Amino acid sequence: MTIRYLLWAQIESMQRVGYEVHSVCSDGPNGGWLTERGVRVYPVTIRRSISPFSDIIALWKMFRYFRRNKIQIVHTHTPKCSLLGQLAAKLAGVPVIINTIHGFYFHEHMKPWTRRFYIMMEWIAARCSTMILCQNPEDIETAVRLNICKCDNIELLGNGVDLSKFDSKRFNGTFRTAKRCEIGVPKNAIVVGIVGRLVREKGYLELAEAMKKILHTHKDVWLLAIGPEEPEKPDRICADIFSQYSIAERTRWLGPREDISELLACIDIYTLPSWREGFPRSAIEAAAMAVPIVATNIRGCRQVVDDGVNGYLVSPRAVDELAEAIVKLVQNSDLRLRMGKAGYEKARREFDEANVCKIVIDTYRELLCDADRSLKEETRNYSINTTRKSHE
């Protein structure tokens, strides 16, 4: 899912310039989709939780695959895959190993020993990296400060979306009305939307409680929730959460969807009350669609939302703050329009996915050239040393 929905633009750019792309990931329903588009898929079971026996098997399989196929670049994503993938690549002698940090898993609200453990995992992974690309500038400062890596081994990648797809100008009022009818939302309702997995850390409990307060006094407000359930996650939330908070009648939970841009065209206010983010793509998509945003004042959200300009930043887990910020936008259509326009302009300045793809391709070329020069230098030194020994 990560490869198809978060990385596909990068993969297409790799293919356009001549790279053969292999996908090493857990098996799933998107494998056939990737294969049809020229990606060689090698399924390896990679559990999200720590599982020593399964992790060793995954490490061994990746090591053998990299060696057998003479892979020249390994580019890893997500915390668990980054650790195992980079270790396997290092052992297999892959010349270029790159890791993209989408957001460190550890954060300031963790228990100290848990936080230290995940920092140590990042430190180990960084010892294998040729280069680390980081989506969030705050994470670069954190990585250097915590001695995870040196400043010359990490560069800013940023994040972005397809601005031609996520553009509110593609959708007129007629489309918006028809789409709302399709998903069962009144055409004149004020719709608050969220896109995210159904887990506690996305702030669903706080949002449900805030919406309960809001719906008590604002009868024209509806909630639109988009995202899959995560039954394997320890902080999973079931879809009946909306019934538990007595907001089900004015909530539409759609599960995972592929028509996100069309659904964002139906939303008046986007919210992301997460406890932890790297660089939230869903918020970028909302900004690009000229939707004002209410998000938590955390790493990642701060990069998308300029407080008071294209939305509001509120404290994590602060239900009253969240409700008050949403109500400000509910009650003022001019404010929604002004903040939405500011988000649209910010997205076009800062969040173009084409720039991200260019950085990735340029990094590949540069590091491959460096690796080639190093190999030639090693070969030359070996030849000189061998010649000296033969003369001796």
Name the range with the highest mean pLDDT among 101-105, 216-220, 292-296. 292-296
pLDDT at 384: 54
3-state helix, strand, coil in the chain (%, to 5): 50, 15, 35
Nearest residue to 45 (alpha-carbon basis) of 77, 15, 6, 84 = 84
pLDDT average, residue stretch 101-108: 86
Question: What domains sit in the chain, N to C, each tagged with a CATH number?
Answer: 44-158 (3.40.50.2000), 168-350 (3.40.50.2000)
pLDDT at 268: 98
pLDDT digits (tens, 9 = 90+) for 267-306: 999 999 999 998 999 999 999 999 999 999 999 999 999 9
Report yes or no: 38 and 11 within 8 Å, Cβ to Cβ: no
Q: H helices of the chain, where?
A: 2-5, 8-16, 31-36, 52-68, 79-92, 112-126, 137-145, 173-183, 204-217, 241-244, 260-264, 281-288, 301-304, 319-330, 333-350, 353-391
Structure-model confidence comparison of residues 234 and 328, the more confident one:
328
